[in-house]
Amino acid sequence: MRSADMPADVPLLILANKQDLPTAYSVEYIQSRMGVDDIRNSHATRTLPCCAVTGEGLHDALDLLHDMIVKSRHEAAKRRKKLM
C-alpha cells in the first residue's frame, strides 16, 4: 500500500476477519502483506481481529472507526485554522 494512494487525512481500519478459523492469518501477517508499515507515519492506521459470523470484534471496530474519523476531522480543522 502506498501513502500516495490515500489522502493523508483518511484513517485506515483493516478488519482481520475469520479469526474463528484455525487457518486465519494473524493480524501481523495481514499488516505485513498489505504494507501497513509503509503508511503508518502518514496515516492513522489500525488492524483489528474480528469474526463476522459471531460478531466478535465488530462493535469495537465500529467504535474505533468512529473515534478515528472524529480525531481526523478535528486535526483537519486545526490545520485549516492555522492556514487562516
pLDDT digits (tens, 9 = 90+) for 14-23: 999 999 999 9
| CATH number reported for the structural domain that contains residue 25 in this entry | 3.40.50.300
Residue 59, pLDDT above cutoff 70: yes
Distance, CA of 22 to CA of 8 (rounded, Å): 35
Res 42: pLDDT: 75
Total number of domains in the chain: 1
C-alpha cell at 4: 500516495
Look at the pTM and tell me if it is higher than 0.85.
Answer: no
Distance, CA of 36 to CA of 38 (rounded, Å): 5
Which residues form the domain of 12?
A: 3-83
Res 3: pLDDT: 52
